[in-house]
Amino acid sequence: MKSIFITGVDTDIGKTFVSVGIALLKENEGKKTGYFKPFQSGAYKKNGELIAPDLAELKKYSTIPSKYSYLFEGEVSPHLASILNDVEADIIKVKSDLQDFSKDKDFIVIEGAGGLLCPAIKGKLFSDIIKDLNSEIIIVTTPSLGRLNHTLMTIECAKYNNIKIKGIIINKMPENKTLSEKNFVRELNLFSDVKILGIIPEIKSLTKENILKAFKGVDI
């Protein structure tokens, strides 16, 4: 079983969208694929049931199996959410859940929260969680102004923590680009040797077919 951990340079850059896209891509290749979210905060209640938003997003487009270890209300870091919900989360459960979930699968997409230095559980950042899970990462970024700085810092943080980087996916590339967006790839290649796995355009109509089309050719 192979796994990949999806992290990002910031919040609201499309980690869940990229996770869904990669899961659909691998499923389309004939791989038995699963989606795993160790810590899901931002849960909401619907008809009395607590809903995991990122897993719900995947279910819009696929029946790919999905699982979380911890589910919290509150749109905050998993660490803070665990405190607010009076739950002591631990990595042992996460590793056990992932091992059990992976038994009958060829490929697992693991999605984090925030970025590498987002607090995950007591005493651990997501950089620590990634090392505990022995995962390779894909960094999700966007080409907007300021994101080159965030992307390069994330790369340096990963290298400092001896985390292996599979590559970068540039998300939300607009059709009508600003000066910064036009030069983002060139600038990134000038200052980093990390491979760009794919450039995902902005998608106006989110369907399974359109997502697969956008991820066609992404090198994973």
Domain ranges, ordered by start, for the chain:
2-215
Contact of 151 with 169, CB cutoff 8 Å: no
Q: Give the residue among 220, 197, 219, 201 at the shortest CA–CA distance from 211.
A: 201
DSSP-assigned states of every residue in 130-157: HHHTT--EEEEE--STTHHHHHHHHHHH
- CB pairs under 8 A, 24+ apart, for 77-80? 77/41, 77/113, 77/114, 77/118, 77/119, 77/120, 78/38, 78/39, 78/40, 78/41, 78/113, 78/118, 78/119, 78/120, 78/121, 79/119, 79/120, 79/121, 79/122, 80/119
Please identify which of the residues 15, 26, 31, 37 carries the catalytic annotation: 37
Residue 24: φ, ψ to 5°: -65, -40
What whole-number distance in Å separates Cα of residue 4 and Cα of residue 7? 10
Is 37 catalytic? The answer is yes
Dump pLDDT digits (tens) for 22-67: 999 999 999 999 999 999 999 998 888 889 999 999 999 999 999 9
| Per-residue model confidence (pLDDT) at position 186 | 97
Contact of 85 with 11, CB cutoff 8 Å: no
What whole-number distance in Å separates Cα of residue 69 and Cα of residue 100? 11
Dump pLDDT digits (tens) for 92-139: 999 999 999 999 999 999 999 999 999 999 999 999 999 999 999 999
40-to-1, 79, 102, 118 alpha-carbon distances in Å: 23, 10, 19, 13
The answer to whether residue 1 scores a pLDDT higher than 70 is: no
| Per-residue model confidence (pLDDT) at position 48 | 81
Task: Indicate the burial class of 144 (C-beta count within 10 angstroms; 0-12, 13-18, 19 or more).
Answer: middle
Contact of 80 with 113, CB cutoff 8 Å: no
Q: Give the residue among 115, 116, 110 at the shortest CA–CA distance from 98.
A: 110
Is domain 2-215 annotated with CATH 3.40.50.300? yes
| Per-residue model confidence (pLDDT) at position 13 | 93
Contact of 102 with 38, CB cutoff 8 Å: no
The answer to whether residue 82 scores a pLDDT higher than 70 is: yes
**How far does the chain reach from its first CA to its final CA, in angstroms?**
14
Residue type, position 162, single letter: N
| Per-residue model confidence (pLDDT) at position 12 | 86
> The whole model's pTM is what?
0.96
